[in-house]
């Protein structure tokens, strides 16, 4: 792998941190050791694994300040960094609580054939690879790791090279738990390290862009291993004429701009019914203007810097194209350079068209382009007019009316009269539609099942010949040789 990689600080624009990716051979050796240790990890049983994860939780809590500081340096925002750690802690508790029931082997039962008993066993994949993005660096590196560990797998995690400072304190927290340190490793590095990790693992969980997701899927296919892909989105919000506009504008503003819009489940396209279009836009703009940048103090305001320099270029390109094609900018509308960081204020656009990048491609910024629709059919068609299908939101005067529309939207997680609820509700199983992903649900009970292969033991319980066996002709002397 290439030598050290410099890491840019999103608040200052300075490269002030370096990571040292492992050589390919070293990474392979590390993965071999994880794979060997997995045997004891699996054999030790679930109770021991739960105990180890609980110790990890304590170890993370003991390093809370260091972790939040590192994440804040990685991302330029503090509130969400603390929330990331809280969310990982509650995910450990949730999975430890659920795992005994979800991993319990079912009682043997009779099959459709009365004299054949069916017994099942689930066998974990030995080594899982997790490759994660920069927008929620800690949370998204842990979301698949925790259930995989409880299932009995060893895990190697390759977080994004754009936000890797948290890896050090996190690795310290792992090293402090003897049972865990042999089966969980975080490695620093860029895409080539991620690609090398795929060559070593038995299953890969990838969270990132559609483009890289395709490359990862191809690499996994070549190795004949499963790949679970959680990719980008261009989530729509539909606001029906009956919606509570006070509620809809507050929810959409949050869902579009939290974490500066750098979220896969950000609302990036808003469709408002003709009848309420003008008051809706006026209220959204009025609220959007009240949000402040977290500048100069990280503890003021709500909108942090754009974390990745490359993303600022994408946001700028989408905004420039929209403006050139006639979009009206009601607030925000440009990238601002402040203190070396790159910032974008909440932006509301109207007079947008389906062909504009800001309506068609993932922007990953605090941008709210609003279009009107005249019939519900048109609203649904516009919402589905995309290559993505991650999540969505529908606002209406009643749950029933909103659900009627939500059933027709091609997306996995749909918030009703709220936004981005899949960030909080982990119980509901959901799949990505279209280009937003591939593989089983990362949420709900199915999430842990992704890390197991099922075996069926089919046990004959009598000594009589099975009715389908050969009815052999009686042996004669002639045939006996
Ligand atoms: P990215 O695809 O550029 O990188 C993601 C990870 O893949 C990084 O760790 C990177 O180093 C690694 N990588 C790059 N090339 C690789 C290769 N050839 N083989 C293996 N690994 C490789 O994505 P990003 O810019 O870090 O993240 C932003 C994207 O992630 C957005 O599209 C966003 O929507 C998506 N995302 C999706 C979800 C979800 O749950 N669906 C959640 C968060 C972010």
The pLDDT tens digits for 344-372 are 999 999 999 999 999 999 999 999 999 99
- Does some domain include residue 400? yes
Tell me which residue range forms the domain holding 421. 235-426
In this structure, the answer to whether residues 197 and 313 fall within a common structural domain is no
Evaluate the CA torsion angle 167, 304, 431, 418 in order and state its sign: positive
Distance CA 232, CA 363 (A): 10
In this structure, the answer to whether residues 373 and 271 fall within a common structural domain is yes
Which atom number of ligand 1 is nearest to the Cα of residue 211?
Answer: 2
Which atom number of ligand 1 is nearest to the Cα of residue 436?
Answer: 41
Establish whether residue 208 lines the binding site of ligand 1, counting it when its CB lies within 6 angstroms of any ligand atom. yes
- Does some domain include residue 478? no
Cis check for the bond before 296: say yes or no (omega within 30 of 0): yes
Q: How many CA atoms lie within 13 A of 437 on its CB side?
A: 27
- Does some domain include residue 23? yes
Establish whether residue 195 lines the binding site of ligand 1, counting it when its CB lies within 6 angstroms of any ligand atom. yes
- Does some domain include residue 465? no
Q: Which residues are catalytic?
A: 230, 264
The pLDDT score that the predictor gives to residue 287 is: 98
In this structure, the answer to whether residues 139 and 192 fall within a common structural domain is yes
In this structure, the answer to whether residues 169 and 279 fall within a common structural domain is no
- Does some domain include residue 474? no
- Does some domain include residue 479? no
Which atom number of ligand 1 is nearest to the Cα of residue 159?
Answer: 9
Nearest CA residue ID for atom 34, ligand 1: 232
In this structure, the answer to whether residues 394 and 446 fall within a common structural domain is no
The pLDDT score that the predictor gives to residue 477 is: 67
Nearest CA residue ID for atom 40, ligand 1: 230
- What own/partner pairs with CB < 8 Å and gap ≥ 24 does 278-282 have? 279/245, 280/239, 280/245, 280/248, 280/249, 280/370, 281/330, 281/348, 281/350, 281/370
Establish whether residue 232 lines the binding site of ligand 1, counting it when its CB lies within 6 angstroms of any ligand atom. yes
Residue 213 Cα to ligand 1 midpoint, Å, equals: 7
Evaluate the CA torsion angle 250, 253, 258, 263 in order and state its sign: positive
Say which CATH number the domain at 181 has. Answer: 3.40.605.10
In this structure, the answer to whether residues 391 and 409 fall within a common structural domain is yes
Establish whether residue 164 lines the binding site of ligand 1, counting it when its CB lies within 6 angstroms of any ligand atom. no
In this structure, the answer to whether residues 214 and 92 fall within a common structural domain is yes
Establish whether residue 262 lines the binding site of ligand 1, counting it when its CB lies within 6 angstroms of any ligand atom. no
In this structure, the answer to whether residues 169 and 285 fall within a common structural domain is no
Collect all residues with Cβ–Cβ distance below 8 Å to 469 and sequence separation of at least 6. none
Domain count, the chain: 2
In this structure, the answer to whether residues 220 and 273 fall within a common structural domain is no
* Best mutation site among 8, 162, 212 for ligand 1 pocket (most ligand atoms within 8 Å of CB): 212
pLDDT in 10s for each residue of the chain, 481 residues: 668 999 999 999 999 999 999 999 999 999 999 999 999 999 999 999 999 999 999 999 999 999 999 999 999 999 999 999 999 999 999 999 999 999 999 999 999 999 999 999 999 999 999 999 999 999 999 999 999 999 999 999 999 999 999 999 999 999 999 999 999 999 999 999 999 999 999 999 999 999 999 999 999 999 999 999 999 999 999 999 999 999 999 999 999 999 999 999 999 999 999 999 999 999 999 999 999 999 999 999 999 999 999 999 999 999 999 999 999 999 999 999 999 999 999 999 999 999 999 999 999 999 999 999 999 999 999 999 999 999 999 999 999 999 999 999 999 999 999 999 999 999 999 999 999 999 999 999 999 999 999 999 999 999 999 999 999 999 886 555 4
The structure tokens listed for 388 are 């993505």
In this structure, the answer to whether residues 168 and 259 fall within a common structural domain is no
In this structure, the answer to whether residues 27 and 171 fall within a common structural domain is yes
Distance CA 386, CA 397 (A): 26
The pLDDT score that the predictor gives to residue 51 is: 98
Residues making up the chain, counted from first to last: 481
Residue 191 Cα to ligand 1 midpoint, Å, equals: 9
Establish whether residue 209 lines the binding site of ligand 1, counting it when its CB lies within 6 angstroms of any ligand atom. yes
């Amino acid at each position: 792998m290439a030598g050290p990689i410099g890491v840019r600080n999103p608040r200052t624009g300075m490269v002030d941190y370096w990571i040292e990716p492992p050589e390919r051979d070293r990474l392979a050796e590390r993965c071999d050791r994880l794979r060997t240790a997995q045997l004891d990890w699996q054999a030790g049983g679930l109770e021991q694994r739960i105990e180890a994860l609980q110790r990890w939780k304590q170890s993370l809590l003991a390093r809370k300040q260091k972790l939040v500081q590192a994440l804040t340096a990685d991302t330029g925002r503090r509130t969400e960094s603390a929330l990331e750690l809280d969310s990982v802690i509650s995910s450990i508790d949730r999975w430890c609580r659920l795992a005994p029931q979800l991993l319990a082997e079912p009682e043997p039962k009779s099959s459709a054939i009365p004299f054949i008993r069916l017994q099942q066993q689930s066998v974990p994949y030995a080594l899982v690879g997790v490759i994660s993005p920069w927008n929620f660096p800690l949370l998204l590196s842990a979301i698949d790791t925790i259930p995989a560990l409880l299932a009995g797998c060893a895990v190697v995690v390759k977080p994004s090279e754009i936000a890797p400072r948290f890896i050090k304190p996190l690795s310290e927290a792992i090293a402090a738990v003897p049972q865990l340190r042999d089966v969980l490793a975080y490695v620093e590095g860029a895409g080539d390290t991620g690609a090398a990790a795929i060559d070593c693992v038995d299953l890969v969980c990838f969270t990132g862009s559609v483009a890289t997701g395709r490359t990862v899927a191809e690499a996994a296919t070549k190795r004949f291993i499963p790949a679970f892909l959680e990719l980008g989105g261009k989530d729509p919000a539909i606001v029906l004429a009956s919606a509570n506009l006070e509620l809809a504008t507050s929810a959409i503003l949050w869902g579009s701009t939290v974490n500066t819009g750098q979220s896969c489940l950000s609302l990036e396209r808003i469709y408002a019914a003709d009848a309420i279009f003008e008051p809706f836009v006026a209220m959204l703009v009025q609220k959007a203007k009240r949000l402040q940048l977290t500048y100069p103090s990280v503890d003021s305001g709500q909108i942090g810097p754009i974390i990745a320099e490359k993303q600022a270029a994408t946001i700028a390109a989408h905004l420039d194209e929209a403006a050139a094609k006639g979009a009206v900018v009601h607030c925000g509308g440009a990238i601002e350079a402040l203190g070396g960081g790159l910032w974008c204020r909440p932006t509301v656009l109207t007079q947008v068209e389906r062909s504009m990048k800001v309506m068609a491609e993932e922007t990953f910024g605090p941008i709210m382009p609003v279009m009107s629709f005249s019939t519900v059919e048109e609203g649904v068609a516009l919402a589905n007019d995309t290559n993505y299908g991650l999540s969505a939101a529908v606002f209406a005067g009643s749950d029933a009316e909103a659900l009627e529309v939500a059933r027709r939207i091609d997306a996995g997680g749909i918030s009703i009269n709220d936004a981005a609820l899949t960030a909080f509700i982990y119980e509901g199983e959901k799949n990505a539609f279209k280009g937003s992903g591939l593989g089983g649900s990362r949420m709900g009970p199915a999430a842990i099942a992704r890390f197991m292969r099922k075996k069926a033991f089919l046990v004959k319980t009598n000594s009589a010949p099975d009715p389908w066996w050969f009815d052999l002709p009686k042996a004669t002397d002639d045939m006996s040789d």
